[in-house]
Every structure is written in structure tokens, then in C-alpha cells.
Structure 1
Amino acid sequence: MTTPCAMPSTPSSDLLIHDAEVYDGSGSPAFRADVAVRAGRIAAIAAAGSLQLPPGARLIDAQGLALAPGFIDVHTHDDRQVLDSPAMLPKLTQGVTTVITGNCGISLAPWQATMAPPAPLSLIGTQPDYRYASVADYASAVQDAGPAVNVGMLVGHSTLRVNAMRDTQAPATAQEIEAMRALLDEGMRAGALGFSSGLFYKTSSHANNDEVIALASVAAEHGGIYTSHIRDEYDGVIDALNEACDAGRAARLPVVLSHHKCAGPANWGRSSETLALITERRRTQAVGLDAYPYVAGSTVLDPDYVDGVIRIMVSWSQAHPQMAGRDLSDIAAEWGVDQKEAARRLHPAGAVYFQMREDDVRRVLSYPHTMIGSDGLPHDAHPHPRLWGSFPRVLGHYCREEQLFTLPEAIRRMSSLSADTFGLKQRGRVAVGCWADLVLFDPATVADRASFAQPKQAAAGIVHVLVNGEVALEGGVPAAARHGRVLRRQEERYSPAE
């Protein structure tokens, strides 16, 4: 039983979880135990039936349910969702207790927009939503909104570019880079966990790696991390992976390769090659990766990536909102045009691309250093089901049914591995002294219900969720009170014992 956090001064509790099958997040086998919670932290762990319920404390009878650390969604675009819909039902109902925002170079701050945000920034907000001149202002707004889950922040490259540059369709000048470095420095001082980029997108595609390194170095100075939606997940995937790893090595900070995949039929099967490269890189530098458990991805609808071969489903369209949820091929046939032209007519729009193959998805998920991230887009009219289903899908479909990994290992990918990678040393484990972010679920019934046809469906089998020691979900029903908080790097990096 690991104990990475400090021992509280007293084992008394204000909540007692009785007789749970405890998966502590380390990947070790489960054990039956009682778990006591006091003042938001885990106060004691002892053999089942050995802890007494103190006067006035609340009892949760686990009845043999699995107790795990609350899941950490390392790859989200929930920047605006935590403000506008702080109940965070798509995540809470999956057992997620922490979300990492600002991925793929897209963060809501720092930017006070004077124009409509270009794609991909339009995925998370309109011009009025981009109203935070600093990360500190955004963090304050999140804390005031009181989301039901914890929020860790990344600062996005595209957001910095639209803020500091006159023309994002060009490399940044030295003066513009310095302006971006100053904005990023403020964000790191305000508690951001690191810096993210999305060189795939037009807002950042003209940036060279020197620009990325100059910014990542700022995050490194503050002990942060660099996450990368690489420049090319298609034919140029190897060069793009090397580019991201080179940036991390030059800037001297850990790299996370976002939603790792081999996209497009021409690249199916290449995950053996890409994972071998990652393994080799890991010999000399800190490299991690995340993935979602589906063969389809989702982003803006770009006619350049419409090939007439893979299935594409429209997730939203500003010009034709009634087309959300329909396949692009059907829309094109109805309009009597090819799919590229249909995509142009739908613009601006989003889409679900069925661009991966199952054997690659399984291989990436099986890789021992892969974290789970939903990459869900909460503002899509017809979102990818990963928004509501990623974590239960790992537990139910890939773990219980496909036996891709053991249950302790599946939980490790969603808890301690994620916490360690992002420097959240007080979370991601069921251990004395750690924050009581916890999920109770039924291993026999946990499953994703969200589908591509009906994507907004809560999972089955998630029974109770605690966030910072307070009940957030009870019997599958969200609590009225919300207890999430902003996880600032300076506060989360060290355990109380240190």
C-alpha cells in the first residue's frame, strides 16, 4: 500500500467508505479495505471492517464495489465548459474528478478577442468568450464558477499567437516571440501546468521549432510540461513526432504527445513504428502520450482532409446547423456535389473523422506509458461520444470485455500515471494524505453508453464520486454542491510531507 502523501495528525473522519475493493492507482492488485476521509484528504486505510464510524461521520457502504482514484482527463477542451456548465456532467458521470484544459494549442486565456476567433480556437468559444487578458483572470473566473471537478490549465500556442501577432500565417518575429514569452510567463506564474501546441492547425502551422522551443523553455523555467498536437499525424507522422521530441529535449522539459494516432488508410498499421520511436526517445528524455479509445477523431471540418474514402460525420455547422449528426457523404449526395464541395458549403463546421484502424488503437492503448484523455469537444451540437464515454469504455470494453489490460493497469493509466506526468503529486492515488478524489464503480457493469448516433449518454456503473473529499455524485446522481478547484502547479507539485 503506497503512501506518497503526508500522514494526517488524526485518523478520525467525516466520511467512511466501508468494505471497498481498493485499486490504489499504482497498478498493484486490489485489496479489501475501509477508507476514512477527513478535511478533504484520505485519513486512514485499514482492513475491511476495522475502522469505526465516528459520531457524526457519514458512511458509504461500498458493498464490494471497486474504489479507485478519481480519473484524470489529461486531454480536454473544457476551458469554457467549466465556466458555462460547471456541473460538468459529461465528465463527472464517467468518474472523472480532474480535467486538464488548454490542449492542442487552444486555451481560452490569455486573450481579449477583438475579432471572431479563427479555427481551431472557434471550437471552444466565440469572441465574447475570449475575454481574459491573463491566465490569472481566467483561473479566478473558474474558481468563482465553482465547477464540480478540479481544473488544471495549459496555455495554448495558438492563443498566444493570435494575441501577440499581426499575421499568424507567418513565422513569429523576435519581438512577437518575446511578447508570447511574457504572456506565457504570466500564465505559468498564475499556476498553469505547462504549454501546449497544435502545429497541425493553420493558426500555428507556420511556426518553426525554434519558436516552439523559445516558448517551451518558459514553461521549463517554471517546472512545467509541453504537450503537442504534432504537425502531421498522417504520412509525415515520424518527422512530426521527432520534431515534438526535439523541442522537449532542447527546452529541457517533459513532452506529452497528444491523442497519438496513425491517421488515414495509408498509415494504418504504422503504430508499431511510431511506438518504437517513442520507446527509443524515452531512453534519453521524458516522453509520454495520451489516447482516446475510439477509431474516430474529431476536430474542425477541413476540406483538405476530405478524401472521399473514410467516413466523416458532421458534428456542427454554422452555415447549416441542421446537418449536425449526418454523414458528409449523404449531405454531398443530397446536394449533388462532391464531399469537398459539401465541406466548403458547411464551413465553418466540425466533424468526426473515422480515420484510424482498430489494431492501431489497441496497440497504442496497450502501450504501458499511454494515458487516457477524452479530447471531447463539449460545445459541438452532435459531439463525438468520447466526450461522455472514454473512461468507462476503457474499463468496460477494452479491459473487461477485450482483456487488453488488467483492471489495476487500466486504472493506473487514468490516475497515477496522469498525476505523475502532470506534477499532481497529491492526487491520482488511494493513499493516506492524498486528496480524496475518489470513484466507486461496479467492475461488472461499468460501460460507455454514448454512441456515434446518440453521443450524449451517461455511462453505466459509476456509482459514487468524491471530489476533494466531498460527495459529487451519489447513486449516479450529481450532488447540488460542487467542490472542484483550480489546481495550480505551485500548490499541487509538492505533497504536504515535503
Structure 2
Amino acid sequence: MTVVDGSGAAGFAADVAVAGGRIAAVERGLAGEAAEVVEGAGRVLAPGFIDVHTHDDRAALDAAASFPKVSQGVTTVVVGNCGVSLAPSPLRDGNEVIAPINLLGKAADFAYPRFADYRRWVEETPGPVNVAALVGHMTLRARTMDRMERPATAAEIEAMRADLAEALEAGALGLSTGLAYPPSRFAPTSEIVALARDVAAAGRLFTTHMRDEAGGVVASVAETISIARQSGVRTLISHHKCCGEGNFGLSATTLAMIAEARETLSIDLDLYPYTASSTVLMERTVKESRKVTLAWSDSHPDMAGRDLAEIAAEWGCDVITALERLRPGGAVYHQMDENDLVRILTFPPSLVGSDGLPHDKRPHPRLWGTFPRVLGHYVRERGDLSLEQAVAKMTGQTAKVLGLAERGLVKPGHHADLVLFDPDTVIDRATYDDPEEPAAGIDMVLVNGAVTYEKGTMTENRPGRFLAS
């Protein structure tokens, strides 16, 4: 068996002993002392994959909903991204769940008044994956503001700071933003800096779905760097990309900006390995895309999986009118270039996350295939990364950026979050046409020493933990 330990170092032949939920030893010749042996000849043993960017806030509590992640080797999910978190509850008068917060569920699903209530629920009803959670800026705005199409007042910022303080005290990893979305688009940089300073003071992480990932992507990276500089906060740019044909190639500029900023600031980034995105129905995103496929619609659920242009033609209207009729809903947007994707993927600091939407009727294939796609397509088939580099971007580097102690490495004393896979066959099988296919080549997954997935089937074990910062 080859151990690829998550550090980026070359793989090596060894046995790995697990006891008491932790890695007891990593060396040759351990099999003879073991009570139970898993044969790993011809396989790679790596740290379990850490999905740095998910919307699994609710799905992580449901074993069946976690299957897309468990089956591709994920052992830890980071929830509360893009400014959207299940807790503290964003509901105000009328119990209306606004977009894109509604990506996480209906009003009844937002049952956690405080962040501490969500943590307690995860701990009392564990699932098959570990959960680390951010608190969403948009969620805090929805709790505090009567109208969000404006900057927050000083009093409203203080109320958000109080909610943020409670979440950080309860173990939140930090704060996320979704500045591209209407409920947060009107927040000025100063509002974000005020909150980011509290995150920095607590030694936590600030993640951002930036204000613009298309024509304004360079300005958005500049704003993100400015927030980091003004606040001193550790920063992670979410799902970095350059959308719209006129903006292809801008990643050369944005990555140069990030590299320069990293000389004095702590700035990292993540991405998913696909040239299509997915989110709620948004007019500006439709206009940036060469093709749009409906993922879900509350008003017309039968249209899920259909091309938006075909729906509009069938209805005898333009695509924007069709979009309005389909709301609330979501879509898969084909809007990126492979050259930008590869440039970002091979940028040494970049991390891998799925950004999957587990409650979509017709999800983006990234929900089921992100990590095996990197290993099978970008490592084995294309050779853009070495196996060791790819595994580090999914494990050790991620744990370091997130501040997850004793996770992300195959190392004695670390928690036994592990994945055993076949490097010759591992690959994603989920496609845009058939997006709910489990990956190939994943043999076994362990979380905190307990097997959660084996031979294509999820076990009954529920060893996941809440990973407090």
C-alpha cells in the first residue's frame, strides 16, 4: 500500500495502524500485530478529503443526504459558506426564507435560534462526516435588517457583531460572505471590515464569495485584499473563477494579485474542478452563461433538468421572462473556461471544494464527483498535478488554512479520517446529464477510526463530530 500523507511529500510504502479513533503508527510490518487487517495492495491510503466549501448545513445531519460526499472519500465538510448559514436562524416576520438562503431549505429547517443550538444538534445527532461551520454574513443581515437593499446602520452592525460573537464563542470557524447576491450586494466594504476585525481578533477565518466573478473580478479581488489588509483577518476566496467569455484569461491577473498579497497577508483560495457553476436563478448570471440548465423550481418542478432557452421557446417568451416565471429556483450555468480552471487549480495555494447543492432536484455533478474528478481527470489523465499535490490540496493544506488541529495528515496521533482508493481507476462518474452517479475507485472511508463507506455502500456508523475552532 502507498501512503500519500497529505503533506505534499512523495508517497511511500507503509502500513497504518488505527486504534481508539486515531492513527497509532505509520510504518512497515504492522499487519502481524493487528486485530483486523484491511488489505491495501495496489491502493493509495490518504487523509480523508476535507470539502472546504459546501452547503451541507442540513445535509450533513442526514445520512442519506451525505452519501454523495461519503462515496467520494469526504470525511469533513465545511458549511455556512457564501454568506448563508442554517444558524443562527435568519427568519423574521412572516417566516419567509429569501434567496439564496433558501438553498438550505424551507422555513421549518431553520430551527436553530443561535449558532450554539446548531452545534448542539450536530453533536447530539452525529452523521457520517465531521462538520466545521462558518456563520453567514447574509444570515446575520436577514436577522437584523428590515430591508437589505441598503448599507446596515451602525446599530444594525452592532447587532450583527453580537450574533457573530456568539457564534465565534460557540466554535464557528469564522465568517462567510456572499457579496454577489442581492441581500448582501448593498453592504459596503466598511460593513464587512467591521465584522472581519472581530473575526481577526478571535483568530478565525474570513471566507468570501466575492462581489463579482465576471467583469468585475479584478476589482473584487482588490476589495478582498483591502478587507484583509484593513482588518488583519485570515482570508479565503471562495470558488475562484472568471465568468463570461469576455473575462476568460483574467485569472492570470487575479492570481498575480493574490500571490503579491500573500507576501504580507494570509490569503488563500479554493475552487471546484468544473467549468459550470450553480446557484439560484439570477438574471446577471444567465447573461454571462453560454448555456443554462434548470436545477430546481418551486413553481415548475417538472422543468428541472431542462435547458432554459428551450423552456423559453416552449413558452413563447424570452429567457429572462422564463426565469421570472420559474422563481424561486436554481440552475447550472456554463460560464467558465478550462484554461482558467487549470491555472487556478495548479496555483500552489489553491484548495479544492465542491460547492455542491445537496437539495437541488437536479444537482450539478460537482456534488457527487469533485474529489475523484481531480484525482482521475486532472492527475491521472491530464497530468496537471501530481497525486501528492492534489491530495495535499484536499487534505493537509486545507486543514492548515482552516485551523483544524490533528486533521488532514496520515500521521501518528492524528484523528483517523482516511480514504483508501485505487489510483488507476478513481474517477468521477456524475455528469451534467446524469449528475447523481457515485464515483469509481473509492474502496473505503474511515471517519474518526470508524468505517463509513466500503465496497460501494455506506455503513451504519455515524462517527462524525462537530469540529470547533
How does the TM-score come out when normalised to structure 2? 0.98
- Distance in 2 of aligned mates of 1:52 and 1:87: 38
- Distance in 2 of aligned mates of 1:306 and 1:91: 28
Select 2:127's aligned residue among 120, 124, 147: 147
Which residue of the partner structure matches residue 401 of structure 1?
A: 381
Which residue of the partner structure matches residue 115 of structure 2?
A: 135
Q: Answer yes or no: is 1:212 the counterpart of 2:196.
A: no
CA offsets 1:420-457 (integer angstroms, 9 cap, x no match) = 00001210000011101000000000000100011111
Q: Answer yes or no: is 1:98 the counterpart of 2:98.
A: no
Select 1:39's aligned residue among 12, 20, 37: 20
- Distance in 1 of aligned mates of 2:182 and 2:400: 32
| Deviation for aligned residue 1:132 | 1.0
Select 2:369's aligned residue among 389, 393, 398: 389
- Distance in 2 of aligned mates of 1:133 and 1:287: 32
- Count of matched residue pairs: 467
> 5 Å matches for 1:410-425?
410-425=390-405
Select 1:290's aligned residue among 256, 270, 275: 270
- Distance in 1 of aligned mates of 2:289 and 2:89: 38
**Counterpart contact for 1:82–1:145, Cα < 8 Å:** no
SS in 1 for 2:32: coil
- Distance in 2 of aligned mates of 1:72 and 1:306: 31
Which residue of the partner structure matches residue 442 of structure 1?
A: 422
- Distance in 1 of aligned mates of 2:126 and 2:36: 23
| Deviation for aligned residue 1:306 | 2.4
The aligned amino acid for 1:105 is G
Q: Which ranges of structure 2 fall in alignment gaps of 5 or more residues?
A: none
Which residue of the partner structure matches residue 360 of structure 2?
A: 380
**Counterpart contact for 1:113–1:131, Cα < 8 Å:** no
Which residue of the partner structure matches residue 23 of structure 1?
A: 4
Instruction: Give the superposed CA RMSD.
Output: 1.2
CA offsets 1:189-242 (integer angstroms, 9 cap, x no match) = 111111000110111111111111111122222210000000011111111111
Which residue of the partner structure matches residue 478 of structure 1?
A: 458
CA offsets 1:49-103 (integer angstroms, 9 cap, x no match) = 345234xx22111123100000000000000112244661010001000000000
CA offsets 1:272-304 (integer angstroms, 9 cap, x no match) = 111111111111101100000000000011123
Which residue of the partner structure matches residue 179 of structure 2?
A: 199
Q: Which ranges of structure 1 fall in alignment gaps of 5 or more residues?
A: 1-19, 490-498
The aligned amino acid for 2:45 is L
Which residue of the partner structure matches residue 465 of structure 1?
A: 445
The aligned amino acid for 2:244 is G
- Distance in 1 of aligned mates of 2:151 and 2:127: 37
- Give the percent of matched residue pairs that are identical in Structure 1 and Structure 2: 51
The aligned amino acid for 1:30 is G
SS in 2 for 1:234: coil
Q: Answer yes or no: is 1:108 the counterpart of 2:86.
A: yes
**Counterpart contact for 2:22–2:416, Cα < 8 Å:** yes
- Distance in 2 of aligned mates of 1:50 and 1:81: 37
CA offsets 1:307-336 (integer angstroms, 9 cap, x no match) = 286100000011111110111011111111
**Counterpart contact for 1:70–1:95, Cα < 8 Å:** yes
Q: Answer yes or no: is 1:83 the counterpart of 2:48.
A: no
| Deviation for aligned residue 1:270 | 1.1
Which residue of the partner structure matches residue 16 of structure 1?
A: none
Q: Answer yes or no: is 1:255 the counterpart of 2:225.
A: no
Structure 1 outlier segments of 4+, above 6 Å: none
**Counterpart contact for 1:135–1:186, Cα < 8 Å:** yes
1:81/1:309 CA distance change after superposition, 3 Å: closer
**Counterpart contact for 1:86–1:145, Cα < 8 Å:** no
- Distance in 1 of aligned mates of 2:139 and 2:62: 20
SS in 2 for 1:261: coil
- Distance in 1 of aligned mates of 2:33 and 2:97: 54
**Counterpart contact for 1:196–1:226, Cα < 8 Å:** yes
Which residue of the partner structure matches residue 370 of structure 1?
A: 350
- Distance in 1 of aligned mates of 2:219 and 2:249: 17
Which residue of the partner structure matches residue 251 of structure 2?
A: 271
1:437/1:308 CA distance change after superposition, 3 Å: closer
1:39/1:50 CA distance change after superposition, 3 Å: closer
Which residue of the partner structure matches residue 307 of structure 1?
A: 287
- Distance in 2 of aligned mates of 1:160 and 1:246: 22
**Counterpart contact for 2:243–2:288, Cα < 8 Å:** no
- Distance in 1 of aligned mates of 2:49 and 2:90: 32
Select 1:168's aligned residue among 148, 168, 182: 148
Which residue of the partner structure matches residue 331 of structure 2?
A: 351
